[in-house]
A and B are shown apart, each in its own frame.
Chain A
Amino acid sequence: MKDRSQGIASAPFRAACYLLVAVFLAVYLLPLFFAFNTSIKSAQDYLNNPAGLTKSWAFSNYLVAWRRASFGNYIFNSILYTSVCTVASLLLSLFIAFPIARRYVPFAGLWYYLFLCGLFLPSGAIPLFQIVLNLGLYDTKLGYMLIMTGVNATSVFFFTGYLKSLPRDMDEAAVIDGCGYLRYMLRCVVPLAKPAIASMGLLTMIGVWNDIVSSTIYLTSETNYNITRGLFVFSGQYQNDWTLMAAALFIVAAPLIVLYLFGQRYIVDGIMAGGVKG
């Protein structure tokens, strides 16, 4: 009787629930499993029996794919892009959110709408391209990172909401102590906002790591490619080397999967909060 909010939930109903959940688990896990299984098959094994479980355990596919797709060249770019853009985005958003949350700027309410606009207006990719082209930043790492450093409405709202919940007395204490603004932000606000930063940081990282559209538009030399672009080009060149391609896709996805395993809670929190507020 402890859990009455669940009603009686008859046994058949429970069974139906489990069944549905299981069906969808299959829909989501089978493709991933098939891809993984393919990635550890030798080419011959795959040709002979594409659907069967691997017999060859060809983990060497990962090495071959790594070399053939030149991921070694791209992964450092991806790490550079992801880290710089994430840190920059977070700092920019945080510094916008704080004054709004504290109402240290006039018309705090209006800012909300300014950022809301961004959600609905067209992407502006074309003028952006012209700007980047005319600044001479086309096909440069710097240009790409400027593009990918996004101050988006979601993170501003999210931070604003979070910072509002922090006690205001601290600010005053800081002023009395003569603590500088920047110092105060970095020393006091940032540590307190850690969970929020983790959420938004992970989401931004995922977005930048996975970007394919901007990297297609702005990066044309192989020396600047990020790893997803490497994967896309690789999949065009080796269209039917499925074992290698499967290995390549797991190489690209591996860092994200690891991040996801450890940061799932923050990622989901970030999206939940964004959804409810946005």
Chain B
Amino acid sequence: MRNAKKALCGLLALLILALAGCACDQGGVTGGTKAPEGGGQAAEGSVQLLTWANAPTVNFLRALAESFHQSYPSYTLQVTDAPQSEHDQVMQTRLSAGNVDIVSFQQFSKPQEDWNAAAMDKPLWQQYIDEGLLLDLSQEAFMARFTQSAKQDNAYNGKNYSMPTSTVAYNGLFYNKAIFEELNLSVPTTWDAFIELCQAIRDDGRYAVITCGAADQWPLNMFATGIMTSLYGQESETIGQGLFTGEIKHTDPQILELYAMMDQFASFLEPGVTGVAYSDVPGRFASGKVAMLADGSWQAPTIDAANPDFAYGYFPIPGKTAREDGLPPQFGIKYDLAFAVAANAKNKEGALAFLDYFSTKEVYTDFLNAVGGFTPTQPDITLDNAFLNSLAPGLQKPYVHAEHRLYSPKGVGEYGGNGGFSFFYLKTLGGPFTYEELAQRAEEDFETARKAAASLTGR
């Protein structure tokens, strides 16, 4: 027995050594298909960047690695992308392992504050900052290149922990220009005009009206907040807080109006829309069988890829009435792809050097042109991308998208999901409720959650 133990221990030790060998080789985590450049010499100055899978940005960043290395020979950028559904998880675990320097976030929104602390946990980004895991970038010189509003919208405790590279518009619809021309339709500026337009396409009968990647749920639910943005504009903030605290009810007439609009919108989605996968919609839209695609502006490059000769435009869902200031309907925007530096980064200098390099005007302009769906957060950027330039009229006084204004109490029931505005429970889409019933259920779930939270904190 004793011999056996020794022998096996030896065997195991050997095994572990051998494996540790493999593990070390792979220790520097690199982006899958692209082989890591150089072994030994890169490890010293390697800058690890993690972002979510989005082909245009990832491809650009990978291509950028080379020119970055030329400008900063001591550093090598290594880009890893994680599937979107797993990105947060990957970021958490890699931050914990300390093997990442630059991480990616979306907008820093909905922090836990005094008024909502009783029934809301801290969002991930806030946890990270409070744990001291992200570096304060406020004093870095490159932050001066970004607009004041971009910095304000992403600040926490008056400091900037992220570099918001861009915004996207996402309460809009892509429309097929050929179909609009053929049916003699024009971009609507009021909700009623929009509904008429939908009806006209349906009456014509040859094309499906609106498609959406509803099988993935979020692409459709994001339009509940999209319509909310268009309907309430800046008021979304107070309404979101009111719904959370109970000062405003989901069943109030002004909120019921939103539900009614959602229901109308849902009625024009193509049949079987809940089975349409998000990855499928660009091709579906570009095939010309559907007049409109409900999606965010970031989808433009994918549509181009699906059919380079396809002519399309993008317009914001209009509010109930035309704007008083004479502007066309405005987009709701959110900040997309903000880079932050891990406080425990092995290569902090390299990470900051990359952010500096990335935000120089030339590189930054290249980035926006290459990605093709993002609009700038730096002032005075001229783009050669026709699609992005076509968005300009709707970006004169953009709103912060209502998604960032909707708070859900902890433990809220399923009908309170998406702030109580989930398309999937509507009868129109094969769900169980009319929109009035859904408003009722949503309010009940919010109320229950508020009470439960109060009973626990009052203990």
User: Do A and B touch, yes or no (CB under 8 Å, in the complex)?
Assistant: yes
Evaluate whether A223 and B32 lie within 8 angstroms (CB atoms) in the complex, with A91-B8, A181-B4 already known: yes
* Bound Cα distance A180, B89 (Å): 49
Query: In the docked arrangement, what's the CA distance between A268 and B115, Å?
Result: 62
In the bound complex, residues from chain B placing their C-beta under 8 Å from that of A225 are 32
Contact with B along A201-215 (1 / 0, CB 8 A): 000000000000000
Q: Is the Cβ of A181 less than 8 Å from the Cβ of B277?
A: no
How many residues of chain A have a CB within 8 Å of chain B? 34
Most interface-central of A70, A141, A220, A233 (chain B CB within 10 A): A220
Is chain B's binding surface mostly helix, strand, loop or mixed?
helix
CB neighbors of A among B350-392 (8 A): none
Q: Is B29 interfacial (CB-CB < 8 Å)?
A: yes
- Which single member of B20, B90, B277 contacts A142 (CB below 8 Å)? B20
Contact B97 A237 (CB under 8 A): no
Given the known inter-chain contacts A185-B4, A221-B80, please indicate yes or no for A141 contacting B22, CB distance below 8 A: yes
Which residues 215-236 of A sit at the B interface, judged by CB distance below 8 A? Answer: 216, 220-225, 233, 236
Chain A residues contacting B4 (CB-CB under 8 Å) are 95, 181-182, 185
Contact of B97 with A238 in the complex, beta carbons under 8 Å: no
A182 to B215, CA, bound (A): 57
Q: For chain B residues 12-52, which have a beta carbon within 8 Å of chain A?
A: 12, 15-16, 19-20, 22-23, 26-27, 29-33
B278 touches A223 (CB 8 A): no
Q: Is the interface of A mostly helix, strand, loop or mixed?
A: helix
Q: Is the CB of B83 within 8 A of A140?
A: no
B342–chain A nearest beta-carbon distance, Å? 15
Residue among A80, A140, A185 facing the most chain B CB atoms (10 A cut-off): A140
Residue numbers in A under 8 Å from B96 (CB-CB): 133, 138
From 167 to 202 in chain A, residues with beta carbon under 8 angstroms from any chain B beta carbon are 180-182, 185
Q: How many residues of chain B have a CB within 8 Å of chain A?
A: 38
Q: How far is the CB of B286 from chain A (nearest CB, A)?
A: 14
In the bound complex, residues from chain A placing their C-beta under 8 Å from that of B305 are none
Residues of B within 8 A of A133 (CB): 93, 96-97
Q: Which residues of B contact A99 (CB under 8 A)?
A: 1
> A165 → chain B, closest Cβ, in Å?
21
- Residue of B26, B31, B80, B215 near A141 (CB, 8 A) is B26
B contact residues around A145 at 8 Å (CB): 19
The minimal Cβ–Cβ distance linking A94 to chain B, given in whole angstroms, is 10
B7 on interface, CB distance cutoff 8 Å: yes
Q: Is the CB of B1 within 8 A of A222?
A: no
Which residues does chain B contribute within 8 Å of A216, judged by CB atoms?
86
Given A182-B3, A185-B4, CB of A222 within 8 Å of CB of B80: yes
Query: 1/0 per position for A122-140, CB-CB distance to B under 8 A?
Result: 0000000000010010111
B276-305 residues at the A interface, CB under 8 angstroms: 277-280
Asked whether B320 is an interface residue with its Cβ less than 8 Å from the other chain, the reply is no
The winner among B19, B27, B30, B90 for most chain A CB atoms within 10 A is B19
Taking the closest CB of chain A, its distance from the CB of B68, in whole angstroms, is 21
Residue on B nearest A232 in the bound complex, by CB: B83
Which A residues touch B15, using CB under 8 A? 84, 88
Q: Which 10 A-B pairs have the closest CB atoms?
A: A222-B32, A239-B277, A221-B29, A240-B280, A182-B7, A220-B90, A239-B279, A142-B19, A181-B4, A140-B23
Q: Can you give 11 A-B contacts (C-beta < 8 A)?
A: A84-B19, A133-B97, A138-B97, A139-B94, A141-B19, A220-B93, A221-B80, A225-B32, A237-B53, A237-B83, A239-B215
